[in-house]
Amino acid sequence: MSPVGWNIPRWLSPAVFGLWGMVLLYLVMTGRYTVSLRPEFGMLLGLAHFVALGCMLALLCVPATAHRGPAGVLRLLIVLLPLVSIMGLQQNMQLSGQSFKKRFLGLGDPSWTADGDGSDGGRGGRRAAISQDLAPSDGVTERTVMEILRNAAGFHGQRVAVLGMLVQDEQILQQYGADIAVLYRFLISCCAADARPVAVAVRTPVGYSPQAEQWVRVEGTFVIAELRGNRVPLLDEAVISPTEQPAFPYLF
Amino acid sequence: MTPPGLPLWQAPPAPAPRQDSWLPAAFFLLAAVLLLFFRPGGDNSLNIIFAAIVLEALPFMLVGALLGGIFETFVSRERMTRLLPRRGWLTVCLAAGMGLVFPVCECAVVPVVRRLVRKGLPPGAAVAYLLGAPIVNPVVAVSTALAYRLDWQVVGLRLGLGYAIAVVIGLLLGRFADRGPIFTPDLAAAAGRLDFEHCSHGHGCGCHASPPAGSVAGPLAGDWLDGFLVRLGQVFRHAAEDFLGVAHYLVIGAFIAALAQSWLDRAAVMTLTGLPLFSILFMMLLAIALNLCSESDAFIAASFSVMMPLSAQLAFMLTGPMFDLKLLLMYQGLFRRRIILLLSSLILLAVLAASAGYGAWTGTRP
């Protein structure tokens, strides 16, 4: 009888299911799967955990017949590859600014422009105060980018506070103007693979330069402005302050 | 019958199992590990997206495999075949929708169709079930609905167009089969004969064992709990075998999709998708290359929703379950080569026509 160590495929198949079952349980218990998925997926992952454990028990009783030889073992290792990737994910991980640049298609999303009233409050708008070290003023309701964009007309002219990340690069400067940055968060339908940035323009104070991968709270007056021929949602008179990453970095 | 030249006491030699090359798998593992763990600038996007796609698809793969195991264990295919008319267009129409009650993904459907053909299912109906079942089934409907945030129009379009394509191609190949055999010679010769040589698992599972001694009406009639546990073990064993048979395709597909998601510049891609038919052809090629399971591919298609029109996403969701690289190989065990060529051409043409027709009709954009 060959030692267990020489009969790798016999034990690797149930081990694949056992490891997946344990990792799924760990992800559900810690909530770490929300780095990549909507919170609602926890129930499905929990169900998958039970199926994986059932498969492990079945293969422990009667060994799998497939996956013999080096190719079979390598295929099983391929099935384990995502576990290494998943266990490397940290709770505070998020899609990078590079992802924003790859996915950003501009501020002129037609889904909100229909709701906007088209007023031009931001054209030649007032310069923001020097603001980075100013405390946000009291009594301003915190909103998400999506809430504001979905009801652009309702928020027009109102003072709002929005969490997100600011980015300012050559393309944005050329397209919208020298004092404009873009405040964004990722909206996901199911998982990070379908993440798309939803964003508003922010008129930044003179000399302000956003830091990469830094979460900020921007308090400003929401208007629909025309910037270099583009009608865009804009936070004017902005007060920008660094803040902690929210528990769920994504919008759903 | 013993082959000539062999003594009577010696069993005929079993055909040597095909040895898969380990090089492609090793190359993939090495490349994936390098790309995942030696990334420039500490960008985590590839890791996050890869994990997202796998975690999103995994529950559906496992539950789909479990459903397949339940049907394999508790529903006899002979009974299902008896329910179908033996000939005619009605058989094809029924077979194309049989996935609703016998859901399987495209990887599991090939051995099932081999079994059904052996039991005398008409060729046209077998082709219709082969193409229809991986799309027209409840697991695919639910996963598509979740991927598209309960957009039932997408679910209806996917299942409706998939059903229509399966029926049309089933009828065409059924007519073709009247002129000559379409299945491999061994399959055609074995039609009607019951055997278990193509069971995808070892016979130690007990699936085909006779009822225990003393049992009147099968294992569940004796010790109920023991019988139930045996059946449950068979269900999970079938599920495990089915899952392991396709899981590595999912991981490879998810990794390629994650690479595409991480590296593709959407603004650049959007300029290309403005060309007529380009986006549809691009998504069809992607579906063929990614080899995704039909129970999870909707999530990949949905991830392209901001880059591609719905017609192109539909092309992706219709092509993959009917024709991709791994199916091209699996079809070799079912059809003659000229039929594979014909079937592949028909599938691609039908998907292109259906998707382009839908796109032209609605002008839908993301």
Q: Is the pLDDT score of A26 beyond 90? A: yes
Determine whether the interchain pair A58/B240 forms a contact, defined as Cβ–Cβ distance below 8 Å.
Answer: yes
In the chain, the amino acid numbered A177 is G
Do B95 and B132 form a contact (C-beta atoms < 8 A)? yes
Size of interface A-B (CB pairs under 8 A): 212
What's the whole-model pTM score?
A: 0.72
Mean pLDDT throughout A222-250? 86
pLDDT band at A133; cut points 50, 70, 90: very low
Chain A partners within 8 Å of B52 (Cβ): 36-37, 191-193
Is any Cβ of chain B less than 8 angstroms from the Cβ of A64?
yes
pLDDT of residue B290: 67
The whole-number mean pLDDT for each consecutive block of 10 residues of chain B, a chain of 366 residues, reads: 39 47 73 72 79 84 77 69 70 90 74 72 89 91 87 94 96 89 77 44 47 45 76 87 78 80 72 75 82 74 76 93 79 86 95 92 61
Determine whether the interchain pair B233/A62 forms a contact, defined as Cβ–Cβ distance below 8 Å.
Answer: yes
Do B317 and B332 form a contact (C-beta atoms < 8 A)? no
Task: State the nearest Cα–Cα gap between A159 and chain B, in angstroms.
Answer: 30
pLDDT of residue B229: 85
Q: Which of A55, A81, A101 sits opposite B236 (nearest CB)?
A: A55
Determine whether the interchain pair A102/B262 forms a contact, defined as Cβ–Cβ distance below 8 Å.
Answer: yes
Test mutation, A17, A68, A75, chain B, max B CBs within 10 A = A75
Mean pLDDT throughout A117-130? 38
Determine whether the interchain pair B233/A58 forms a contact, defined as Cβ–Cβ distance below 8 Å.
Answer: yes
Do B71 and B116 form a contact (C-beta atoms < 8 A)? no
Binding-face residues of B in 262-301 toward A, CB within 8 A: 262-267, 270, 299-300
| Closest C-alpha among A13, A123, A2, A24 to residue A68 | A13
Determine whether the interchain pair B241/A64 forms a contact, defined as Cβ–Cβ distance below 8 Å.
Answer: yes
Contacts of A10 (CB under 8 A, 6+ apart): A4, A63
Do B295 and B105 form a contact (C-beta atoms < 8 A)? yes
CA distance B249 to B339: 25
Structure tokens at B198: 């193509």
pLDDT of residue B327: 77
pLDDT, tens digit (0-9, with 9 covering 90-100), for A49-78:
999 999 999 999 887 765 567 778 888 888
Structure tokens at B185: 């010679």
Chain A partners within 8 Å of B44 (Cβ): 89, 93-96
Is any Cβ of chain B less than 8 angstroms from the Cβ of A89?
yes
Is any Cβ of chain A less than 8 angstroms from the Cβ of B22?
yes
| Closest C-alpha among A73, A16, A85, A32 to residue B35 | A85
Test mutation, B43, B44, B273, chain A, max A CBs within 10 A = B44
What ipTM did this prediction achieve?
Answer: 0.84
Is any Cβ of chain A less than 8 angstroms from the Cβ of B66?
yes
Chain A partners within 8 Å of B245 (Cβ): 66
pLDDT of residue B235: 87
Task: State the nearest Cα–Cα gap between A175 and chain B, in angstroms.
Answer: 14
Task: State the nearest Cα–Cα gap between B170 and chain A, in angstroms.
Answer: 32
Task: State the nearest Cα–Cα gap between B344 and chain A, in angstroms.
Answer: 27
Q: Which residue has the higher pLDDT, A203 or B219?
A: A203
Cα torsion angle, A237, A242, A248, A250, sign: positive
| Closest C-alpha among A57, A27, A19 to residue A43 | A27
